[in-house]
Structure 1
Amino acid sequence: MSKRRFGRVRKLPSGRFQVRYPGLDGIDRTAPNTFATKREAEIWLTKKEAEIHAGDWLNPDLGKVSFKEYGTAWVEERPGLRPKTLQLYEGLLRIHLVPTFGNRTMSEIKEAHIRKWRKTRLDDGVGAVTVAKAYRLLKAIFNTAVEDGLIKSNPCKIKGAGKEDSPERPVLTMKQVFVLADSTEPRFRMLILLATFASLRWGELAALQRRNVDLEAGTIRVIGTTTELKDGSVTIGPPKSEAGKRVVSVPAMLLPDLRAHMETYAERSDDGHVFVGPKGAKLRRANFTRVWAAALKNAKLSGFHFHDLRHTGNTLAAQSGATLRDLMTRMGHSSTRAALIYQHTALERDRAIADALGKLAEEALKPEDPKPNEQDPGGSGT
């Protein structure tokens, strides 16, 4: 029988067959499993030879790094991660991924393992949104592992597993917005109204400085946002994307109140914050929770989050006639490319949206017509 020109097959004492072959690095390697017949072993060896000749061979030693080691390095090596994003990744890795995959090597983790992990997480009561975020991180790590030559393909193949299906948030009525604003501490009244009618996020409001409010033009320039970390620190940085940097028009009917707020509560310097606590401290979500809860109670409302104000404002803007393009520009959700394309028309259209919102608010706040028997106090009412 002629000798094989590539690799070797030998029968083990157990009766199964073992394959050894030379890798591109010149190291003699053993197949990851044994075979029931010599024929099966030779077929595997033939495929491995073709794989090497085609340039598709991966060094199996590279895939032997543990998921914990590789995943931790992956997070540490991401350039330009915002502090909150870094905190999110580290938490997802530590709490949801490493306990299951940490001691396995990258090459050992298969699609079946990931399906079982996802089902177990959901069955254990972990929120669907959190599981989706963890799955996306897992998939991103394995994408890089493929690029690094550790594995041939990404085992994260569950359709829709990375999609977040958050429940629809409630929308306040126009009157409820003003009742809520009037039910809170006076220094936070404009915080509620701008979150709604200027579509500003909490972080954007907390970072807003006096120099970025133009009372004459009736606009707010959004160039920064706050990030609160678990250690209690607060950082101020640019929005997540270029689209987040925008100029938003404020309804004209709110400008007198905004001016009064600036004169009464805002810090005096150009770089001073528009919204601060009673003692001049930066706004923090944890501290504002008490204020928000009290406002809801006073307004006889429940089940609303602060972010629902922005959601309400966007809904009302759409009802005022804003197009999808208008809304994305106003909200800061458009891509950089889209934002640049429509930048020259966004402000003019945004002013129209703001004024339409103002008219809706004025209509909602008009006193109701008196009942017929109230029109003539001195009459008989008949």
Structure 2
Amino acid sequence: MSLHRVKREDGSVVWRVRWRDGGRGSAERSRTFTRKSDAQHFEDELRRRRRLGELGLLIASKETLDEYVTGTWAPTHLPTLAPATAKVYGSLYDKHISPFLGHLKLIEITPEAISHWQAERLSDGAGRVSILKALSVLGSILQRAVESERLARNPARLVRKVRRPPKGEVRPLAPKTVEAMRAASTHRDATLISVLAYAGLRPQEALALRWRDIGERTTVINASKTGQRRNVRLLEPLREDLDAWRKAQPNVREDGLVFPGEDGERWAPDAYKSWARKKPRGRRKPGEKQRSGSPGPFARAAIKAGVPEATPYTLRHSFCSLLLHEGRSVVYVARQLGHDAALTLGTYGHVIDELDEAPRIGAEEAIRAARVSRVRDEAKSDA
């Protein structure tokens, strides 16, 4: 590494720093500065990085992956993640990474070692999606090790990933089906289903919704998943549902939750799982018969409507379908859903193709028609 004063043909003077990334035999690199102080600062930074690199490699030769994760990565990186994301990362690491790679020293985690790990997880029957998620977590951990100069490169980036399983096409529920589910639900659940199906909210976004977020024409969504805020169009039938639900609640406050739990606070994770579950809770012990139990309220409504495989997230697709049926652009739909246009096109491309030549129907008109049809069907059945 060296710093030189260079005089150019035009008489100007510059300062050039020369260095090699590796040892002797590696290519020489250089950078030129007009001010000597800038060149000196740059040279000092190179020397600092070289010293840290040597120290980092020394640490990496002795520190195992488990030691690095528990001692450095988890305390410094996990607190920056959303609680739900941190929990998923921890679960993936404990189940798929630590038992197989945790004992290896950082410098022993090579692309070949990771490839063997991936193949072994496949042969053990682990799902491809889980393996891909675990590899993403491992790559994130190793990238932090690179940034702290414990590793010279991230070996996870050189691994050929297992192919993702083909993704099934989403099948949005028609408004008539949504209305059948609402008819089989309590007032609260029917309104929650309306929010999911006619505003396209993620379930956790709906449960975090407060009355102050609901305006005359739009609803403000603070998405915990993306950390972004968006305004979602408030369809008139949904606004009517929300108005009716609000009138049925005593002592409603502007900052109150639209769908509070039994204690007035946000639903606990177990409460939501109980509401949405399809199977009885609990695991069967050896020798024990399958427990008889009923599905949760949402699943019961889905069964009565003839769509037993539906989940709360399925209703998000219904909102997208309503907008596409109106003739809205992919960009518009993506903004309403809170993700990018490429994801919208990849997920709903077949829906777009199917509706390409279909007559345009307004979302509000489609919902009202479904409600009129349900009233007629109920009248016929009563007769």
Give the shorter-chain TM-score range.
0.5 to 0.7
- 1:17-52 deviation per Cα after TM superposition (whole angstroms, max 9, x unaligned): xxxxxxxxxxxxxxxxxxxxxxxxxxxxxx954359
Tell me if structure 2 keeps the 8 A contact 1:197–1:313: yes
In structure 2, the gaps of 5 or more residues are 1-21, 30-45, 277-295, 342-360
Q: For residue 75 of structure 2, what is the amino acid of its counterpart?
A: E
Output the amino acid matched with 1:110: T
**Structure 2: how far apart are the matches of 1:146 and 1:119?**
25
Q: Judge conservation of contact 1:67–1:102 (CA < 8 Å) in 2.
A: yes
Matches of 1:285 and 1:128 in 2, distance apart? 27
TM-score, normalised by the number of residues in structure 1: 0.67
Quick check: 2:299–2:310 contact (8 Å CA) kept in 1?
no
For the residue of structure 1 that corresponds to 2:328, the secondary structure is coil
Evaluate the alpha carbon distance shift between residue 140 and residue 239 of structure 1 in structure 2; reply closer, same or farther with a 3 A threshold. Answer: closer
Q: Give the equivalent residue in structure 1 for 2:76.
A: 77
Describe the superposition over 1:264-298 as per-residue Cα deviations: whole angstroms up to 9, x where unpaired: 14761111111134674533312312111221222
Residue-by-residue CA offset, 1:327-356 (whole Å, 9 max, x unaligned): 121112249xxxxxxxxxxxxxxxxxxx92
RMSD: 3.0
Map of 2:230 onto structure 1: 246
Q: Tell me the residue number matched to 1:314.
A: 320
Contact 1:132/1:164, CA 8 A, preserved across alignment: no
Q: Distance in 2 between matches of 1:165 and 1:81?
A: 29
Q: Which amino acid aligns with 1:206?
A: L
Larger Rg: 1
Mark the CA change 1:77 to 1:161 in structure 2 (over 3 Å): closer, same or farther: farther
Higher share of residues assigned helix = 2
Instruction: Give the AA of the match of 1:218.
Output: R
Cα displacement string for residues 221-279 of structure 1 (whole angstroms, at most 9, x for unaligned residues): 213x6xxxxxxxxxxxx55322xx12212211332222111111476111111113467
Q: Is the 8 A contact 2:128 2:162 kept in 1?
A: no
Cα deviation per residue 1:140-168 (whole Å; 9 max; x = unaligned)? Answer: 22222223222222211234559686543
SS in 1 for 2:139: helix
1:268 is matched with 252
Q: Against the structure 1 CA distance between its residues 286 and 266, is the aligned structure 2 distance closer, same or farther, given a 3 Å change threshold?
A: farther
1:1-382 to structure 2, matched below 5 A, reads 49-50=24-25, 59=54, 60-64=57-61, 65-72=63-70, 73-78=72-77, 80-156=80-156, 157-161=158-162, 166-214=167-215, 217-223=216-222, 238=224, 240-242=226-228, 245-265=229-249, 268-277=252-261, 280=264, 282-283=266-267, 284-289=271-276, 290-334=296-340, 356-367=362-373
Find the aligned partners of 1:162 and 1:285 in 2 and give their Cα distance: 32
Change (3 A) 1:98 1:239: closer
> Residue 232 of structure 2: SS of its match in structure 1?
strand
Residues of 1 paired with 2:302 and 2:123: CA distance?
34
Give the distance between the partners of 1:362 and 1:118, measured in 2 at CA.
Answer: 51
In 2, distance between residues paired with 1:239 and 1:125?
29
CA distance in 1 between counterparts of 2:86 and 2:210 reads: 26
Change (3 A) 1:123 1:305: farther
Contact between 2:122 and 2:128, CA under 8 Å: does it hold in 1? Answer: yes
CA contact (8 A) 1:129 1:165 kept: no
Count of aligned pairs between the two proteins: 288
